[in-house]
Amino acid sequence: MQLLITHGRLAHTRVLQFTRWQLALGALVLMAVLLGLSGTVYHFVFLKAAREGWPVVSPLVRLIVRDELVQRERFMRDNLDAIAQKVGEMQAKLVRLEAMGERVQGLAGVKVDELHPPHRPASGAAAADAGRGGPFVPLPSPSLEQLQRLVSGLDEVADFNTDFLTLVESRLLASRLAALMVPSAMPVDVVLGSGFGFRRDPFNGRSALHTGLDFPAAVGTPIRAAAGGIVSAIEVHPEYGQLLEVNHGNGLVTRYAHCASIAVPVGALVRRGQVVAQVGNSGRSTGAHLHFEVLVDGVPQDPARFLAGPLAPQAALPARRR
């Protein structure tokens, strides 16, 4: 390709000759320059006009970049929806944590006031009258990435607290179940008769070991399980009369003797306070009463050590003769 450059003042004509590669290279350079100029105009003029709302340019720019603005708006909306969903999940976790905390608080016997710091801010009228001040240091607006990191950190903390409270609750439940298996509830709500220890036998007058506690009551008075367990034996014994045994595990067994009738079968799971029998006068007995025993590995123990409440002072008194 040849270009002829002529001028009226020049005596001769200049000839410029270009090859195909030179033309292609020139076209590429021209395109790069145009792209650079368009990008500069777009970033420094059009976008500024769109942000600042120039009266004439702004509507035109919005028409040109409408698709890009729509995509950005959709991207922001999707991210905000994702964050809102994450916040909702965290709120649900915190609700579960609060409910679990209330259960753990009840099991552990912790009062609500003990959970607050000793020097918490005043509220109500006291807060309005309290002196306050200091410099105003506004918090900077967090970016989307900072919000995502914050939500992720809170999510990890909530998961850890959930696992921790679940472990604490399981330990407390295990302790409570173990306590429920100890015979500490009164089998009959009456005044104690004969206590545990040596006494004169009511039939022959000789000194003999009384292996339990006697609770005198009318025939048919309900007998309640002193602790949860499994009914291990029901039999008619020549000395105990109608006898009920409840196994509480770990070698701990309770006996309910001289019953008029028994309300649970062998193998039944009974809970603390459940009616298991009725007071009677069967077996070797001088009158209607409940003979209550506690055995550990087959060895009789003083039931007053296990039963809670009013039996503690009476356990130190000498056993009375029925």
Q: What is the pTM of this model?
A: 0.51
* pLDDT tier, 224 (very low <50, low <70, confident <90, very high otherwise): very high
Averaged over 141-150, what is the pLDDT? Answer: 68
* pLDDT tier, 176 (very low <50, low <70, confident <90, very high otherwise): confident
- Measured CA angle at 290 (ends 284, 296), to 5 deg: 95
Tell me if 107 is assigned to some domain: no
**Torsion, CA 120, CA 126, CA 130, CA 136, rounded to 10:** 70
**In this structure, what token pair is assigned to residue 205?**
């007058």
Instruction: Quote the pLDDT of residue 247.
Output: 95
Tell me if 237 is assigned to some domain: yes
Q: What DSSP designation does 245 have?
A: E
Distance of alpha carbon 183 from alpha carbon 191, whole angstroms:
18
Instruction: Quote the pLDDT of residue 77.
Output: 74
Tell me if 124 is assigned to some domain: no
Instruction: Quote the pLDDT of residue 69.
Output: 65
Kindly report which listed range (43-47, 137-141, 242-246, 283-287) carries the lowest average pLDDT score: 137-141
Whether 227 contacts 270, CB under 8 Å: no
Closest C-alpha to 50, from 42, 39, 63, 61 = 61
Give the H/E segment covering residue 28.
helix 20-41
Distance of alpha carbon 26 from alpha carbon 18, whole angstroms:
10
* pLDDT tier, 11 (very low <50, low <70, confident <90, very high otherwise): low
Averaged over 290-307, what is the pLDDT? Answer: 91
Distance of alpha carbon 246 from alpha carbon 256, whole angstroms:
9
Give the H/E segment covering residue 97.
helix 66-108
Query: pLDDT tens digits for 201-211?
Result: 888 888 888 99
Tell me if 123 is assigned to some domain: no
Mean residue pLDDT across the chain: 77
**In this structure, what token pair is assigned to residue 148?**
């995502």
Averaged over 259-276, what is the pLDDT? Answer: 95
Tell me if 269 is assigned to some domain: yes
Q: Judge whether residue 245 has pLDDT over 90.
A: yes
Query: pLDDT tens digits for 97-124?
Result: 777 777 776 666 555 554 444 444 444 4
Averaged over 240-267, what is the pLDDT? Answer: 94
* pLDDT tier, 91 (very low <50, low <70, confident <90, very high otherwise): confident
**279 or 194: which leads in pLDDT:** 279
Residues forming beta bridges with residue 5, ordered by sequence position: 14
Q: What range defines the domain where residue 307 resides?
A: 197-315
Q: Judge whether residue 166 has pLDDT over 50.
A: yes
Instruction: Quote the pLDDT of residue 138.
Output: 61
Q: How many domains does the chain have?
A: 2
Instruction: Quote the pLDDT of residue 118.
Output: 46
* pLDDT tier, 153 (very low <50, low <70, confident <90, very high otherwise): confident
64-73, 147-156, 284-293: range with highest mean pLDDT:
284-293
Tell me if 275 is assigned to some domain: yes
Instruction: Quote the pLDDT of residue 73.
Output: 74
Residue 148, classified by CB atoms within 10 Å of its CB into exposed (0-12), middle (13-18) or buried (19+), is middle
CATH number, domain containing residue 257: 2.70.70.10
Tell me if 293 is assigned to some domain: yes
Distance of alpha carbon 287 from alpha carbon 258, whole angstroms:
9
Tell me if 284 is assigned to some domain: yes
Closest C-alpha to 260, from 276, 279, 241 = 279
